[in-house]
């Protein structure tokens, strides 16, 4: 899918009141994200000297918003990323991110003539691509930034490209919602079960992805920034939380929950109702919260 924004240098105008040195307003960054996010010239944030050094060690980090009470150490990397000292760097990082929504521009939606789209499906008039021989059933909603590969099926009542719940607190303790500017990439021969939700990712240069031949049962939720590989079998009522990576050929049983920011390998068996709370390598079995290597025990 084509990029849905211009890669201009990011300006701090939207948070100018929080910048300690307001004469600095234009950065050398073209993307915004966490330190592990993709982006050739990334703007991120840090709330401690340790986090500043971690961010500065990343070759693609061009600028860092740093809390005003952080004492900076010498950075070994050369050239050193731009440092912008701001009040409450974490909060204003997300305010700056939210301000980028106004720069989003989507091309006209493209639907292959061979796709079967039910007349009650609500598909955005811009920012959606649907491939050959896809089926979109009644009551489906598809939001901008969504790509669906050939031969995939979106079952009735599903929502693709929704905003997940990501809440910060402002200076007064009031909830501040994080906008979701990224996309959803669904591979070929995928099936999304009835009344399931696939959330778009947060940052505009990223996407929630579902690999080819993966099958997802009804009433499941694939949250923002999740990366799912090929040929996974995900049963009904599964919740995969934000930014978790799933490998290939896994079985995830009904009602299982996989926590956020995890890395799950390939060929794992996650039994019904299990809670995955830690990283998994390959060929493990999870029952409840217990992890076993010898699948012959069950």
Per-residue model confidence as pLDDT tens digits over 121-160: 999 999 999 999 999 999 999 999 999 999 999 999 999 9
Distance of alpha carbon 25 from alpha carbon 37, whole angstroms: 23
H or E stretch at 114? none
- Cα 103 to Cα 8, 51, 266: the distances in Å are 10, 29, 38
> CA-CA distance, 289 to 223, in Å (whole number)?
21
**pLDDT band at residue 296 using 50, 70 and 90 as cut-offs:** low
For residue 257, the Cα-to-chain-centroid distance in whole angstroms is 17
**Does residue 110 carry a pLDDT above 80?**
yes
Give the whole-angstrom CA distance, residue 221 versus residue 48: 34
Mean pLDDT of 280-287: 96
Query: Does the active-site annotation cover 97?
Result: no
Domains located in the chain, CATH noted:
13-103 (no CATH), 110-297 (2.160.10.10)
In the predicted model, is pLDDT for residue 10 greater than 60? Answer: yes
Please tell me the predicted confidence (pLDDT) of residue 88.
95
What whole-number distance in Å separates Cα of residue 230 and Cα of residue 189? 10
Q: What is the pLDDT of residue 77?
A: 61
Q: Strand, coil or helix: what is 50?
A: helix
Whether 297 shows a pLDDT value over 60: the answer reads no
**Average pLDDT over every residue of 81-91:** 94
Cα 30 from Cα 176, distance rounded (Å): 24
pLDDT tens digits, 182-221? 999 999 999 999 999 999 999 999 999 999 999 999 999 9
Residue 94 pLDDT grade (very low, low, confident, very high; cuts 50, 70, 90): very high
Q: Which pLDDT score is estimated for 294? A: 63
**Predicted pLDDT of residue 13:** 93
Helix, strand or coil, per DSSP, at residue 213: coil
Residue with tokens 């105008």: 13
141 - beta bridge partners?
A: 122, 159
Report pLDDT for 73. Answer: 73
pLDDT at 272 over 60: yes
Adjacent-strand bridge partners of 176 = 168
Distance CA 168, CA 189 (A): 37
Rounded Cα distance between 38 and 95, Å, is 20
Mean pLDDT of 37-53: 94
In this prediction, residues 40-63 reach a mean pLDDT of 94
pLDDT the model gives residue 5: 83
Rounded mean pLDDT, 241-261: 98
Is pLDDT above 70 for 76? no
The reported pLDDT for the residue numbered 271 is 97
Is residue 22 very low, low, confident or very high in pLDDT (cuts 50, 70, 90)? confident
pLDDT of residue 78: 65
Backbone angles phi, psi at 100, to 5 degrees: -75, -15
For residue 288, pLDDT over 70 is answered with yes
Report the run of H or E that residue 128 belongs to, with start and end.
strand 128-130
What is the per-residue pLDDT for 194?
98
State the pLDDT confidence band at 224, using cuts at 50, 70 and 90: very high
The reported pLDDT for the residue numbered 199 is 98
**Rg, C-alpha atoms of the chain:** 21
Residue 295 has pLDDT above 60, yes or no: no
21 or 195, which is more confident: 195
| pTM as predicted | 0.93
Residue 119 pLDDT more than 90? yes
């Amino acid at each position: 899918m084509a990029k849905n924004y211009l890669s201009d240098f990011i300006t701090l105008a939207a948070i100018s009141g929080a910048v300690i040195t307001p004469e600095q307003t234009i950065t050398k960054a073209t993307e915004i994200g966490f330190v592990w996010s993709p982006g050739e010239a990334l703007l991120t944030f840090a709330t401690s000297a340790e986090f500043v050094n971690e961010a500065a060690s990343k070759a693609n980090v061009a600028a860092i918003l740093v809390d005003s009470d952080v004492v900076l150490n010498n950075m070994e990397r050369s050239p050193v990323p731009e440092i912008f000292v701001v009040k409450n760097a974490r909060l204003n990082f997300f305010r700056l991110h939210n301000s980028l929504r106004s720069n989003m521009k989507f091309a006209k939606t493209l639907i292959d003539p061979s796709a079967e789209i039910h007349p009650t499906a609500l598909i955005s008039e811009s920012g959606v691509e649907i491939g050959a021989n896809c089926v979109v059933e009644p009551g489906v909603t598809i939001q901008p930034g969504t790509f669906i590969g050939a031969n995939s099926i979106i079952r009735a009542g599903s929502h693709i490209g929704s905003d997940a719940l990501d809440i910060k607190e402002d200076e007064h303790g009031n909830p501040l919602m994080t906008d979701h500017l990224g996309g959803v990439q669904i591979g070929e021969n995928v099936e999304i079960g009835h009344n399931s939700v696939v959330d778009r990712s947060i940052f505009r240069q990223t996407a929630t992805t579902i690999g080819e031949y993966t099958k997802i049962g009804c009433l499941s939720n694939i949250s923002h920034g999740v990366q799912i590989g090929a040929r996974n079998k995900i049963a009904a009522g599964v919740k995969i939380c934000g930014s978790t990576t799933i490998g290939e050929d896994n079985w995830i049983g009904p009602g299982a929950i996989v926590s956020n920011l995890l890395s799950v390998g390939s060929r794992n068996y996650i039994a019904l109702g299990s809670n995955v709370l830690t990283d998994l390598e390959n060929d493990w079995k999870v029952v409840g919260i217990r992890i076993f290597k010898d699948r012959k025990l069950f």
